[in-house]
A and B are shown apart, each in its own frame.
Chain A
Amino acid sequence: MLVVISATFFMVHAAPGGPFDDDRVASPEIIKQLNETYNLNDPLISQLGNYLFNALQGDFGPSYKYPGRTVSELIASGLPITAELAFYSVLFALLLGILSGIIASLNPGKFLDHFPMSVSMIGICVPSIILGPILILIFGIWFEILPVSGWGEFSGDKILPTITLGSAYAAIFARLTRGGMLEILAQDFIRTARAKGLNETRVVFFHALRGGIMPTIGFLGPAIAGLFAGSFVVETIFQINGIGRYYVQAAFNRDYTLILGISVLITFFTLTFVLFSDILATYLNPRLREKGSMN
């Protein structure tokens, strides 16, 4: 985390232009004064020290672009929106991914296997920066049935961002589920269940899915962390005022403190979700648990 903060810190300060450069050129005296107010004249290393010292106490400093607003305040206004977007996206990805994974695994080698898997391959390969504009073009401009920007302002405006952000993960979940299911479906207890005459729905959803979904759950943590990072692109495309868009704008505005604040948050999320996901996977998977106890 320290590495990420320090690296970000030096990178933002290395970018040309400063937070107080403006169309209307202020006199050198004023710029000097502003730099002094925010300690930007100090050596970088002592600025970093100050920042870390304050950040540890939960103070991420004032925003340079929005005087009178703290970074924490701006993050607090954007985070719920980003969290909601990530939540819907993960839900969309899970539903679509697991369902198509199951269908594919039940029809190995047939059309119903090849088709969803080819689509998912495209889903993995097409980045949201391309998918978003394509969806906007089709649903927003050609058919004019869905809003192309905003979040919670017009009915249906949450649909396209959710699909854009969730698709890549739906595709990954589909492949993971298919793999997991194929492995489980070939096992003895499934054959026993079928032999006992249980109907196929029960076999698939109650017996096979429980194990088949394991790889997906293992990937859930990194996926959620990835969704937060992916929100940078999606929020910018759909002009959603979440932290992803703040981050991109802060980078353009050279709002040093806001860039750092959001970097800290995203790093924290990534580490937490990955750790959480590892713990969950270990807990659910007996094989991993045994290995752990052997060490």
Chain B
Amino acid sequence: MKKITLLLIIFVILGCSSQESLDVESANKQGILLLDNGTEPQGLDPHIVTGVTEHKIIIALFEGLTMQNPQGEGVIPGAAESWTISSNGKELLFRIRDDAVWSNGDPLTAEDFVYSWRRILTPALGSKYPDMLYAVKNAEEFNKGLIKNFDQVGVEAIDEKVLKVTLKTKTPFFLKQLAHYATFPVHPNTIEKFGGISNRDSQWTRPANMISNGPFTLTEWSINKVIKVTKNERYWDSDNLKLNGIHFLPIDNESTADRYYRSGKTHNLNIIQTEKISKYQNEFPNEFKLEKYFGTYYYRINTDIAPLNNIKVRKALSLAIDREVIVDRVTKGGQKPAYSFTPPSKNYYDPPTSLPHDPSLARKLLAEAGFPNGNGFPEFELLYNTNEGHQKIAQAIQQFWLKELGIKVTLTNVDWKVYLDRQSQGEFEITRAGWIGDYVDPNSFLDMMVTDRGNNMTGWSNTQYDDYLTKAAFSESEKDRINYFTEAEKILMDELPIIPIYTYTRVYMLREEVKGWFPNMLDTHPYQFISLED
């Protein structure tokens, strides 16, 4: 009996104990940033992965030619100290820093970039982000297997430190794309050592194997526990690095993440639970952050199907939606009503489009389309992937359409992969969708709706729209370019193959001692600028 009691006590102690992990106070002293990073990353290979979680780790480990300016929408020099652009905008010469080296001491060369870009464009690697380099001459052709010789692709090493890039056409946002991890360099010898250029399942990203060129190096990767990176003493700007390391914690449960933050185990809270937003906003105004994010939540319409192929019907559907009500009473996360597809930015692109809430005009248009008071309008399906948030919005919109237009909608939720499958097969009438831009430029949204683009999926096509996009690509001045985008945006908001609902915001908490963390639309916070102060 005594033995049993003893065992029992041991188990209770074991059961109640928790792992020892660093708290912010000691982390502050050691200069270690403790980041709640959402989920376990898919991987750390910049040419394979596709998510935001991965992005946040990869920018600590690797550095591209340019870097996202943390205080604005442009870029600043990264591994390249400078560059020149030819007068026609097609040829770019990048000067790589003399003191830029890999974490094993090898110099970072122009040839390393040629190898890395060849890798992401190699069809057999199956990268999902090769299009980040499609602006480069023949890159798309090489990636699609139309040409086999990489020498024909517009990237070459002039000498050890000078990289020449030839573009198809002038591409003003190309420098921004170079701040995206898909264009980052990888260490050629390491890649070759662990299975070669087209091996997806390579072990090179393991802590013992990884050679990187960013401000930090990978020291530990425990699945679902932590990823630890340590200051790279060989980084060209290591003297100015204020952090000694970062711990990325994959905490995918919002309530656990909240507990982590409140008990001082992380410096940030990646996502605030909706019900706690207003409480935190009032109680911790210095830690609470609500920032614009470069993303749009929208409804995608299958324009191949009657009566949704009728512009008047699509307009009526949009006019019946009160976006203010949706963000104030349904989503309640500080989102902004969307009146354009591209999230507007006061600094350089602010389309004059509007998507008013006007039920009487909506009814008028619906009547003109042949469905007075919704009579004879076929019942259709609104498809979304299973998620409580999507459901609430869908229910609200279902009510708007029924109340204002007399149109009946069935809500269908399916699991994520079924949703994707049905969407790509065109087996839907209206689906919910969301898009986060990869670089801050209207092109990262508007290009999607060009005829037959993979992500268009609405069946919608408008030659004038396509024409504006082409003109924007070839335009000489930035002002013209923005004007073309604005014209294209007007067409899109007039024909509405997609109905924007709201612009995403980032709502999170950040402890006050974290300095050098600036708000920006891509939610990118280069760690080179971050410090921890007491």
List residues of A whose CB falls within 8 A of some B CB. 15-18, 20-27, 29-30, 33-34, 37, 62, 65-69, 73-74, 77-78, 88, 91, 95, 140, 147-150, 152-159, 162, 205, 239, 241, 252-254
Q: Which of A37, A152, A153 contacts B200 (CB 8 A)?
A: A37
A155 partner residues in chain B, CB cutoff 8 A: 16-18
- Closest chain B CB from A72 CB (angstroms): 12
Q: Which of B8, B420, B454 contacts A27 (CB 8 A)?
A: B454
CB-based contact A24/B128 at 8 Å: yes
CB-based contact A34/B126 at 8 Å: yes
For residue B71, CB closer than 8 A to chain A, the reply is: no
Q: Which 4 A-B pairs give the minimum distances between C-beta atoms?
A: A17-B417, A17-B421, A25-B454, A239-B253
A150 partner residues in chain B, CB cutoff 8 A: 253, 256
- Closest chain B CB from A169 CB (angstroms): 16
List residues of B whose CB falls within 8 A of some A CB. 1, 8, 11, 15-19, 21, 40, 42-43, 45, 48-50, 123-124, 126-128, 130, 143-145, 200-203, 205-206, 222-224, 252-253, 255-256, 259-260, 263, 415-418, 420-422, 424, 434, 454-455, 457
CB-based contact B256/A147 at 8 Å: yes
CA A162 to CA B143, docked complex, whole Å: 52
CB-based contact B417/A18 at 8 Å: yes
CB-based contact A68/B144 at 8 Å: no
Instruction: Work out how many contacts link A and B, with CB atoms closer than 8 A.
Output: 125
B457 partner residues in chain A, CB cutoff 8 A: 25
Q: A30-B126, A150-B256, A157-B18 are in contact. Are A21 and B145 (CB under 8 A)?
A: no
A156's nearest neighbour on chain B, judged by CB, is B16
CB-based contact B126/A37 at 8 Å: yes
Interface centre among A29, A162, A205 (most CB of B within 10 A): A29
B49 partner residues in chain A, CB cutoff 8 A: 67
CA A154 to CA B45, docked complex, whole Å: 32
A70's nearest neighbour on chain B, judged by CB, is B201
Secondary structure dominating the interface of B: loop
Interface centre among A29, A30, A156 (most CB of B within 10 A): A30
CB-based contact A21/B259 at 8 Å: no
CA A73 to CA B455, docked complex, whole Å: 34
CB-based contact A252/B417 at 8 Å: yes
CB-based contact A22/B420 at 8 Å: yes
Q: A33-B123, A62-B201, A152-B19 are in contact. Are A26 and B417 (CB under 8 A)?
A: no
Q: Which of A68, A88, A153 contacts B11 (CB 8 A)?
A: A88
Q: Which of A23, A33, A154 contacts B420 (CB 8 A)?
A: A23
Contacts A27-B454, A153-B19 known; 7 new A-B pairs at CB < 8 A: A16-B418, A18-B417, A67-B42, A67-B48, A68-B43, A73-B223, A140-B255
CB-based contact A17/B128 at 8 Å: no
CA A258 to CA B182, docked complex, whole Å: 27
Q: Which of A21, A88, A152, A158 contacts B417 (CB 8 A)?
A: A21
The contact sample of 13 A-B pairs, CB cut-off 8 A, is A21-B417, A21-B424, A67-B45, A68-B200, A69-B223, A77-B222, A77-B224, A95-B8, A147-B256, A152-B18, A155-B18, A162-B15, A241-B224
- Closest chain B CB from A294 CB (angstroms): 38
Q: A29-B145, A158-B16 are in contact. Are A147 and B259 (CB under 8 A)?
A: yes
